Chain A
Amino acid sequence: MTALVISEHNNNELKPVTLNTVTAAKALDEEVHVLVAGKDCASVAEASSKIEGVTKVLLIDSEEYEHFLAENISTLVSKIAAEYNFILAPTTTSGKNFMPRVAALLDVSQISDICAIESSDTFQRPIYAGNCIATVKTTDEKKVITVRTTAFDAAPAEAGSADIVSMEEVHDSGISEFIKEELAQSDRPELTAADVIISGGRGMQNGENFSLLEGIADKLGAAIGASRAAVDSGFVPNDYQVGQTGKIVAPNLYIAVGISGAIQHLAGMKDSKVIVAINKDEDAPIFQVADYGLVGDLFDVVPELEGKI
């Protein structure tokens, strides 16, 4: 039997989260196949075939998968699921969208957002916004799993040479339709792939002040994030949000500016290698997880930092 990883991509590029998901799959099974479903996505299949440990790539190139609509993709995955023991996808908004649908079609209880693998049926996953870690064991023969990608290393992207097998599987539900996508245009790296992240919280006071973070982000090649408080206050769009209900990140360097450190936020960034906190409240909980804390007014500290790095 084999593990199947559903790749994440934009029809042109393979998203790095797929590499971490492959690592989780390899911990479960020797054989790892990657499904690339999309439209004009041969380059993604090519990239997937080079991931170390991948033994076969299934390429399904058809227009009804172009936008990864959950109705179509879940039917496709459930149809090819028969020969797989494990079906894995990253815990991204895409994985979260279609994987439970796959699980229900297969009559399986999905195991969401695993952060550790204890055995082929026993996993750890965060619950209560990361306040607790549950160790869970499933009796389902087929396991449908979403993977917290920050908890697993990326598989080497240029070390394999798997066969690419083209398949024809057409599943257009006809009940949902893609209308448009508005993706933030940015030269900065994506939050979940960035080496450095600088995030602002309620202390930023308003959306305009987020421009203060841009100078540092430019100098460090960083992505810009935010706490839920900053998103709820309307300072920045929701896709900036780092936290249990936003993005889970683990960069080499995470700089938290004006963020108090609610558990919600900590759950999304505490696996970062080095955490810096800048806050004027010396009792802010963020200092309890920060490697380096600087107590001070961010409106003084941030410009000074930008000038000196």
Chain B
Amino acid sequence: MKILIPIKRVVDYNVKVRPMADESGVDLNNVKMAINPFCEIAVEEAVRLKESGAAEEIVSVTIGSSASQEQLRTSLALGADRAILVESDAEVEPLGIAKLLKAVVEKENPDLIIMGKQAIDGDNNQTGQKLAALLGYPQATFASELSIADGKAVVTREIDGGLQTVSVNLPAIVTTDLRLNEPRYASLPNIMKAKSKPLDIMPAADFGLDITPRISTLKVSLPPEREAGVIVESVDELIDKLKNEAKVIS
């Protein structure tokens, strides 16, 4: 079995981003970048499938600027066998990403595509589902458990109120939720080894697809601030405030 893992370079999850002073976008000057945490879970899941003997090859792919090679190298250090950068300096929105990934899938013919449920920058939560639609593949989003047998993936999904289990025919797209696994750290020898693993670079323009964004960002601003209230000294005072001031309990 061959697994494709689309990943994304994003602002490190520990960074508290701010809008630029002119509100034209998010201030990304000198912020630490990292592999999207949900993508890291996807890489880990693929590596575990390979370790268990269920998969033979793992290919990671990203669409982004040349700097995204750094995150592809991270995926190689974590256990991917080779990587593909579809290079684009312009921002590509989820629909365009899905179109480019579809072209990569048609070339690579993976049996399984595992990717993050959302990137923590745009919080769109779209790309996996859109890729599945364009390919006519089934999807199992927000996975917390995954097993492969008889040409199918059985996936437990995190849904509102509990869990749902579905079976999808391969090839399929699985998107990861937090509890699917706990990603490992790359070891130093594996980081060194990753440097010599193959990383192909293809310009996005060579795919001949229309990936012009449909959505433009007019403004990025801070959310409305909520003002801090008061510190109460005791449980009695808290109950009094809730009853008589806020009137939210009786």
The answer, yes or no, to whether B154 is at the interface (CB within 8 Å) is yes
Closest to A267 in B: B223
- The segment from B51-59, B123-131, B200-208 found at the interface with A is B123-131
Interface membership of B217, Cβ < 8 A = yes
The verdict on A101 contacting B130 (CB below 8 Å), with A128-B121, A292-B241 known, is yes
At the interface with chain B, which of A40-48, A90-98, A164-172? A90-98
Contact B142 A104 (CB under 8 A): no
**Closest B residue by C-beta to A192:** B160
B167 interface neighbour in A93, A179, A252, Cβ under 8 Å: A179
Contact of A127 among B123, B161, B169 (CB under 8 A): B123
Q: Does any Cβ of A come within 8 Å of B215's Cβ?
A: yes
A134 at the interface (CB under 8 A from B): yes
Q: By the criterion CB–CB under 8 Å, are B130 and A104 in contact? A: yes
Number of A-B contacts (CB under 8 A): 254
Q: Are A274 and B232 in contact (CB under 8 A)?
A: no
B residues in contact with A69, CB < 8 Å: 166
Given A104-B134, A128-B26, A135-B218: A182 touches B163 (CB 8 Å cut-off): yes
Contacts A105-B133, A238-B158 known; A288 to B122 CB distance under 8 Å? Answer: no
Give B92-113 as 1s and 0s: 1 = Cβ < 8 Å from A's Cβ atoms.
Answer: 0111001000000000000000
Given A96-B141, A276-B242, also A137-B218 (CB < 8 A):
yes
B1 within 8 A of A: no
Asked if B222 is at the interface (CB within 8 A of a chain A CB), the reply is yes
Pick the contact of B235 from A92, A245, A308 — CB < 8 Å? A308
Task: Please tell me if the beta carbons of A292 and B242 are within 8 angstroms of each other in the complex.
Answer: yes
A128 and B139 contacting across the interface, CB-CB below 8 Å: no
Chain A at the B interface: mostly helix, strand, loop or mixed? mixed
A269-309: which have CB < 8 Å to B? 270, 273-276, 282, 287-295, 301, 304-305, 308-309
- Chain A residues with Cβ below 8 Å from B125 are 96, 100, 112
Chain A CB within 8 A of B197 CB: no
- Assess the A109–B93 pair: CB atoms within 8 A: yes
A129 touches B123 (CB 8 A): yes
Cβ of A292: which chain B residues have Cβ within 8 Å of it? Answer: 229-232, 238, 241-242, 246
**Is B181 an interface residue, CB under 8 A from the partner?**
no
Given the interface contacts A289-B226, A294-B238, does A134 sit within 8 Å of B220 by beta carbon? Answer: yes
Residues facing B in A94-128 (CB within 8 A) are 94, 96-105, 107-113, 122, 126-128
CA distance A113 to B125 in the complex (A): 10
Question: In this assembly, does A154 line the interface, its C-beta being within 8 Å of a C-beta of chain B?
Answer: no
A63 at the interface (CB under 8 A from B): no
| Shortest distance between the CB of A52 and any CB in chain B (Å) | 25
Contact between A177 and B248, CB atoms less than 8 A apart: no
Are the C-beta atoms of A128 and B123 separated by less than 8 Å?
yes
Contact B169 A132 (CB under 8 A): no
Given A98-B129, A239-B161: A109 touches B232 (CB 8 Å cut-off): no
- Distance, CA A108 to CA B138, complexed state (A): 19
Q: How far is the CB of A14 from chain B (nearest CB, A)?
A: 14
Assess whether A253 is in contact with B242, with CB atoms less than 8 Å apart. yes
Residue A212 lies at the interface, judged by CB distance under 8 Å to chain B: no
Q: Which residues of B contact A238 (CB under 8 A)?
A: 144, 158, 177-179
User: Across the interface, which residues of A come within 8 angstroms of B129, CB to CB?
Assistant: 70, 97-101, 104
Residues on B with C-beta less than 8 A from A94 are 159-160
B163→A181 contact, CB < 8 A? yes
Answer whether A309 and B94 are a contact pair too, CB < 8 Å, given A110-B126, A131-B223, A176-B166: no
Contact residues in A for B159 (Cβ distance below 8 Å):
93-94, 181, 239
A291 touching B246, Cβ below 8 Å: yes
Interface residues of B in 18-72 (CB under 8 A from A): 18-19, 26
CB-based closest 4 A-B pairs: A291-B229, A104-B133, A100-B129, A104-B130
Known pairs A231-B179, A239-B161 / 10 extra A-B pairs, C-beta < 8 Å: A71-B132, A92-B160, A101-B130, A129-B123, A135-B220, A175-B136, A176-B168, A182-B164, A263-B16, A288-B228
Q: What would 15 A/B residue contacts be, using CB atoms closer than 8 Å?
A: A94-B160, A100-B133, A126-B223, A127-B122, A136-B216, A139-B216, A176-B168, A237-B162, A245-B178, A253-B248, A273-B248, A288-B226, A291-B229, A291-B246, A292-B242
B residues engaging A (CB < 8 A)?
11, 16-19, 26, 93-95, 98, 118, 120-134, 136-142, 144, 154, 157-169, 172, 177-179, 213-223, 226, 228-232, 234-236, 238-239, 241-242, 246, 248-249
